[in-house]
Structure 1
Amino acid sequence: MKKFNFKQFKFRHVQADEIDERFLIMNLYMTQVLVLLLGAIIMFFQKPSLSQMFSWKHGIWIPVWGVVFALAVLIVDLLISRWVPPEVTDDGGINELLFKNRPLWHITVMSLFVALCEELLFRGAIQASWGPYWTSILFAAIHIRYLQHWLMTGLVFSISYGLGWIYIQTGSLWTPIIAHFVIDFIMGCIIRYRRED
């Protein structure tokens, strides 16, 4: 049996202009399906109470917590983009490529699908075993395009920790799903509809 040579793999920084837009969208959806499957597999072994996890026991406070948290994140993000040099927040143009030419319905579907899949894995499955701190480290690590600068890494970690915290406060996975959706949707719309300078 021939050995596989891992030294042949080379990681390099990829710019958005090197990536086909269709390939990027397909990659996004395939990755999210894998995230969803992984979350489902982990939860199968943990056997959590899905009715408790998706509870609306706190009623209106579930979306209120989610939207308020999302608005706080968006304000911080907009302040950072206003006062920090662009090279610090640069993700290689990936978000631009994902959202720039998408119709509003696709931004909505994409944001909702990502929020559902990632929150099911990170808050629903992993946080139950690892807690919010280690879950947030893993969440920041998989958002690899932000690892180039400490500020963006810290922001992604903080957002993840906040999502974990609001999940603990309300006891409902709907809260971080709503927050994650609102953040992604509004940022996607900002990218899609902003005027070029």
Structure 2
Amino acid sequence: MKKINFRNIRIRKVDPSELDDRMLLVNLYITQAITLFIGILIIFFQSQTLFQVMKFPGGISVLGWGAVFAAAVLVFDWLIARWVPEDVTDDGGINKKLFGNRPLWHIGVISLIVAICEELLFRGAIQYAFGPYWTSILFAAIHVRYLRHWLMTGMVFLISYGLGHLYLFTGSLWAPIVAHFIIDFVMGCMIRYRKDEVDGER
């Protein structure tokens, strides 16, 4: 049996241009599957059930609060984009690579999967144990591509903290899921169609 030499394993930073589309999608979906699994596992060991956490709200007002929160975040992001140099908000090109050539339906699918998986883990499971503050610190820390810029790290923290309080306020995980979905979907569409406009000007 051949032994694995762990000394030969090297971890290096990968430039986004080195990732092909298939590898990027595989990485995304595997990461989200792991996120979902960990979230469900944590909930299993807590004094709550997955059914309680994912219970759909009785009225649409909960979803409305999610939409209002998303709109506020998008307006704030638009203001930041107007007054802050582009290199300060740069994520290394990952978002452009992910959404730049994606059809509209696929942007929607990605946004929905990310919203459900991440909110289940962070708001549904981790926040239940540690509260919105420490959950948001962890949420900001896992968004590694933003850690080079204090402004983007701060924005991710504030958005997460707001999602945490949205969950506490509405009592339904579907409010932060809706907010998270709208934010990612709109920003994904902006990246997608802004690229078309830039390409058209050339």
Task: Quote the offset at 1:126 in angstroms.
Answer: 0.2
- What is the alpha-carbon distance in structure 1 between the residues aligned to residue 116 and residue 184 of structure 2? 12
CA distance in 2, matches of 1:15, 1:153: 20
Alignment of 1:87 onto 2:90: no
Q: Any stretches of 5+ residues in structure 1 without a counterpart?
A: none
**Amino acid paired to 1:89:** T
Determine the C-alpha separation between the residues in 2 that align with 1:180 and 1:2. Answer: 41
2:86 counterpart of 1:97: no
Supply the distance in 1 between the matched residues of 2:187 and 2:170 (Cα, whole angstroms): 25
* Aligned pairs (5 A) from 1:33-112: 33-57=33-57, 59-112=59-112
Amino acid in structure 1 at the alignment position of 2:178: I
Q: 1:1-197 residue pairs with structure 2 within 5 A? A: 4-5=6-7, 9-12=10-13, 14-57=14-57, 59-194=59-194, 195-196=197-198
Q: Tell me if structure 2 keeps the 8 A contact 1:122–1:135.
A: yes
Inter-partner Cα distance in structure 1 for 2:82 and 2:15: 23
The Cα of 1:56 is off from its aligned counterpart by 4.7
Between the two proteins, the alignment pairs up a number of residues equal to 195
Amino acid at match of 1:157: F
The answer to whether the Cα contact below 8 Å between 1:36 and 1:118 also exists between their aligned partners in 2 is: yes
Q: Deviations over 1:164-197 (max 9, x none)?
A: 0000000000000000000000000111111216
Say whether the 8 Å CA contact 1:36–1:121 is kept in structure 2: yes
Identity of counterpart residues, as a percentage? Answer: 62
Once the two structures are superposed, residues 91-116 of structure 1 have per-residue CA deviations (whole angstroms, 9 ceiling, x without a partner) of 01100000011111100100000000
User: In structure 1, how many angstroms separate the alpha carbons of the residues matched to 2:161 and 2:12?
Assistant: 28
CA distance in 2 between partners of 1:56 and 1:18 (Å): 41
* 3-state SS of paired residue (1:46): coil
Cα 1:2–1:106 change in 2 (3 A) is closer
Structure 1 counterpart of 2:75, one-letter code:
I
**How large is the RMSD of aligned CA atoms in angstroms?**
1.9
Instruction: Show structure 2 runs of 5+ residues with no match.
Output: none
Normalising by structure 2, we get a TM-score of 0.90
- CA change 1:45–1:83 in 2 (3 A) is same
Q: Which string of whole-angstrom CA distances, capped at 9 and with x for unpartnered residues, describes residues 26-84 of structure 1? A: 10000000000000110110141444433455622211110000011111111111111
Q: TM-score, normalised by structure 1?
A: 0.92
CA contact (8 A) 1:96 1:191 kept: yes
Look up the equivalent residue of 2:79 and give its one-letter code. L
Return closer, same or farther for 1:105/1:2 CA change in 2, 3 Å cut-off.
closer
Whether contact under 8 Å (2:99, 2:189) holds in the other structure is yes
Q: Distance in 2 between matches of 1:146 and 1:49?
A: 33
